[in-house]
């Protein structure tokens, strides 16, 4: 077990070492602080170089990912062009939905969706007869986009809009797609 005298001696030795380094610094003059500053600067430069290298490696990986993303939109454009070729007919309609307000308030938005389906089937001359099913193997489909659905439901089930502008496209297989018209 160490006594208090031993602790005092150790503390005195530490003080002597501190004073020696200070005395050495005074003897050497300004060289010691410069050497210390140079060492610190070298350490900082090494750290910053490492950080820069890490950032560059991250940038390179991001550039590679961005290049892959740039390639994908080009392929998507080709797919869109292929889809455009499949489109046989495209029309824009303003569909009146006032009849939905005849229904009770809790059934108005579903009635508005049904009115859109009826209107599109009538005006785009969509056949759903059994003869077509036998000939082609499939009935044509009518799909309403999420944007149109969200537009109907924006003011809740009780208050659908009185009218809505939509763009309807028909493809080679007589499938219909209802999209929200631009600017809506």
List pLDDT tens digits, range 130-143: 565 666 677 888 99
Q: With pLDDT > 90 as the criterion, what percentage of the chain qualifies? A: 37
CA–CA gap between residue 157 and residue 105 (Å, rounded): 7
List pLDDT tens digits, range 18-77: 555 555 655 555 445 566 666 666 767 777 777 777 777 776 656 555 555 555 455 555
HSE-CB of 25 using CA atoms within 13 angstroms: 11
pTM of the model: 0.53
What residues have CB less than 8 Å from 106, skipping those under 6 apart?
157, 158
User: What's the chain's average pLDDT?
Assistant: 75
């Amino acid at each position: 077990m160490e006594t208090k005298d031993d602790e005092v001696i150790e503390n005195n030795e530490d003080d002597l070492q501190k004073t020696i380094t200070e005395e050495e610094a005074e003897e050497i003059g300004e060289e010691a602080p410069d050497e210390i500053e140079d060492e610190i600067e070298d350490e900082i430069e090494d750290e910053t170089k490492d950080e820069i290298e890490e950032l560059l490696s991250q940038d390179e990986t991001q550039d590679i990912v961005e290049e892959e993303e740039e390639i994908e939109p080009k392929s998507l454009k080709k797919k869109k062009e292929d889809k455009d070729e499949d489109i046989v007919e495209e029309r824009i309609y303003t569909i009146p939905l006032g009849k939905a307000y005849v229904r009770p308030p809790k059934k108005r938005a579903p009635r508005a969706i049904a009115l859109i389906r009826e209107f599109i089937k009538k005006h785009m001359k969509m056949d759903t007869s059994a003869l077509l099913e036998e000939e082609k193997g499939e009935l044509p489909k009518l799909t309403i986009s999420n944007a149109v659905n969200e537009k109907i439901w924006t003011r809740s089930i009780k208050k659908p809009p009185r009218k809505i502008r939509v763009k309807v496209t028909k493809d080679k297989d007589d499938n219909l797609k209802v999209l929200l018209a631009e600017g809506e």
